[in-house]
Amino acid sequence: MVRMVILLGLVALSGCAQSGWKRSESLVSESSFKVELEQLSFEGQPKSVFGHPVDVSSAVVSNAFSALQYKPRSLFGDPVPEPAVVPNFLPALAQAVSSALARAKDSERVRFEMRERAKSLYVLPSVATTRGVAFVSTAGELNLVFDEVHALPEIDESGTRGGWGNPTRRARSSGRLALPEYATAGVNERGSTMPLWAVLPLDRIPTEAPTAEVATNTESAAVGNATTPTAKTETSTGATEEKPLSDAEIVARLRYLEELYQDGSLTEDQYKEKRAALLGTTPKR
């Protein structure tokens, strides 16, 4: 109940006619990656509503983002969830958000934006956008609120790419997040559950840095006549074991391979070979 009151207070302020958000500092500004601070003002004065500044390690931030899976809305059955943040952006994003939370005032929250290569509905190269805000409440909960997740220009619901919205009031993407068991969904000023708002208690987020490699340790293990992609991980005893990749992990790694190929980091043969290993097929020559 206390947490609900705190969250309702935060979003009510963000929706009040006399309050507003304004960018206060740009921390990272690249063509495909941006992180900045924005300040909440009420009647022209900064409004203190967050538990900032706060020290949250990049490993904790990374684990929080990694725990979130995105399920787009679909008219054709239940879609396969995919990582809300593509793996190749994760290290830089986690470090930038961690630094920003330590720098932010109690009236500021963190905005982030990533632009990733993707394929549109017409299989033409396009740019997908993932963006949102991050903040820590006075109750010690990390809030990750998405405005858009892997959103393509041609399916942007708002009809425009310009300007930031306020995702604690309304998100542009219409999908939902699949949350870990220790997280809950945030609520807006009307008390409605927000499907792209994750509330994660800091004392419940794993603190150890991820050990699995993104794309280098991928192999295919035979299972009957089919093959199942696996990832090598190291156990606490130092032994190496192989675990089957989930559908979401396979999708994320396919995205990563596509980006490496488009950037020229992989030759066509290398791309086909690695892609075939992930899909369990034989590459075409």
Dump strand ranges (E) for the chain.
19-29, 33-42, 45-46, 69-71, 82-83, 108-119, 125-136, 141-151, 176-178, 184-187, 193-201, 218-223, 226-234, 240-244
Indicate the residue among 146, 173, 204 that finishes a domain: 204
- Positions in the chain short of pLDDT 50: 1-2, 4-8, 11-17, 120-124, 154-162, 212-229, 231-241, 282
Same domain, yes or no: 163 and 97: yes
Same domain, yes or no: 157 and 223: no
Q: Which domain holds residue 149?
A: 2-204
Burial (CB < 10 A; 0-12, 13-18, 19+), residue 59, is middle
pLDDT in tens, 81-139: 899 999 889 999 999 999 999 999 999 999 999 998 765 444 445 688 999 999 999 99
pTM for the model: 0.68
Q: Quick check: is 167 in a domain?
A: yes
Same domain, yes or no: 88 and 53: yes
Same domain, yes or no: 176 and 235: no
Q: How far apart are CA 24 and CA 273, in angstroms?
A: 47
The three-point CA angle 165-39-136 to 5° equals 90
- Coil, helix or strand at residue 82: strand
Indicate the residue among 154, 174, 204 that finishes a domain: 204
